[in-house]
Amino acid sequence: MTCRTLTVPIQAGRLKLTVRHEDLPVERCLTYATRQNPRRLYLFVSKVLGKHWPVRPSVMRDIHVRLAAKIAALPGPLLVMGMAETATALGRGVAEEAASRAGRDDVVYLQTTRCRLSRPLAFAFDECHSHAPDHAVYLPDPELQPLFRAARSLVLVDDEISTGRTLVELARAYLRFNPRLEQIALASIANWLDADRRRELALLLGRPVGFPALIEGGFQFEPDPDFPAPALPVVGAVADRAHDGIAMDPACTGVLAGRWRSAVASAFPAMVNGGNPSERPLAVIGTGEYAYTPFRLALALEEAGYDVRFQSTTRSPILIGDAIASRREFPDHHGDGIPNYLYNLDADRLPVIIYEHAAMPAAHALPGLLGGLAFAVEESCRAS
């Protein structure tokens, strides 16, 4: 495809994109916004990720399938890791599709998390540009540890890669754990690394590194000198509060991909709108890192004939304007006193909020703020 350039104004300045490759058109996958973060003012807002922008679940699954096809033949055991919080549904979706479509039983999925659990830690690392930099990776349950410790291929999944620095930190941490690892893939919807940076990352990691992506190119950000630097939100977090007993997502401690099951999924369409798809259209909402099961429930609704969009709450503070038409702020669902946000909610849709723990719908502020429905379903999905 012919290389093309795009110039995109945002509140904080101007993004100049050079697009070298597109599996799907950039305009279908990305839009742009301004972060409430002086360390990095621009934001690529994915239209297909299910985070800041509502998306049809089938479109989201197509992204998973497309990326999975690029990594499904890597030698196993294959360890796939998704980055909290933005890429948890994407990472697990890629792992699930790669395992199920290739008929593999050696694909482990594990996501980074900001939850604090009383269980052995494999390693931790920082995302230096982030408003919430600490990531933890916990040891999987004993039955998955042989695959986790013996992976031949490591796939790290994020929505977009601009410098690769955070993913390199994660890969190096895993390499100290498993120095026999043979190859690495840094998978993303959009990859902005040039050839020199890709070679540099491969040298840093000492192994072959692939870069499967749907969009490839480069960008420059020109800040507007007159734009006032925004202050980060004030966070009154509860110090060292453990999340044992409330963080129910099994992906925080590892799952064998390709075996996702939910007793709720088949019955869920009958639980919404009285089982009548012709009633009010729906907005299914995941909560923070807990996004894959909510996405699958949204997909079940779409497959049952409902008009549904999927998105997730987030810690990421983004300014209204550009691609952000609306912003709702509320305390986090884990009770840590951390501001959370929901962007671009369609007011004409009935909100259906999906939580990971049964106590959350009654305790969290979001159901009262939005109205609509709230469910907790993860106990039924633990078999995954």
pLDDT per position as a tens digit, 200-242: 999 999 999 999 999 999 999 999 999 999 999 887 655 567 8
pLDDT at 1: 54
Task: Fill in the DSSP letter of residue 199.
Answer: H
Q: Is 21 helix (H, G, I), strand (E, B) or coil?
A: strand
Q: What integer is the mean pLDDT of 157-167?
A: 95
Per the domain annotation, does 347 fall within a domain? yes
Q: Is 79 exposed, middle or buried (0-12, 13-18, 19+ CB in 10 A)?
A: buried
CATH of the domain at 302: 3.40.50
DSSP state of 1: -
- pLDDT tens for 54-79 read 999 999 999 999 999 999 999 999 99
Taking only the tens place, the pLDDT of each residue in 178-204 is: 999 999 999 999 999 999 999 999 999
Res 382: pLDDT: 40
Does residue 351 lie within any of the structural domains? yes
Number of domains in the chain: 1
Q: Does the residue 265 lie in any domain?
A: yes
pLDDT at 20 exceeding the cut of 50: yes
Q: Quote the distance between the C-alpha of residue 53 and its chain's center.
A: 12
Task: Using alpha carbons, select from 299, 319, 320, 321 the residue that is nearest to residue 309.
Answer: 299
DSSP summary character for residue 117: -
> Residue 130 and residue 298: Cα distance in Å, rounded?
29
Lowest mean pLDDT among 31-40, 46-55, 119-128, 246-255: 119-128
Residue 289 lies in a domain: yes
**Residue 345 falls within a domain, yes or no?**
yes
pTM over 0.75: yes
pLDDT bracket for residue 381 (50, 70, 90) = very low
Residue ranges making up the domain that contains 276: 261-378
Residue 304 belongs to some domain of the structure: yes
Q: Which of 31, 22, 89, 32 is nearest to 61 (CA)?
A: 89
Within 13 Å, how many C-alpha atoms sit on residue 118's CB side? 7
Give a yes or no: residue 337 inside a domain.
yes
C-alpha separations of 38 from 34, 231, 315, 333, 344 in Å: 10, 7, 16, 26, 22
Q: Are 284 and 316 in contact (CB under 8 A)?
A: no
Instruction: Measure the CA–CA gap between 247 and 229, rounded to whole angstroms.
Output: 35
Q: What is the reported pLDDT for 182?
A: 98
**Quick check: is 24 in a domain?**
no
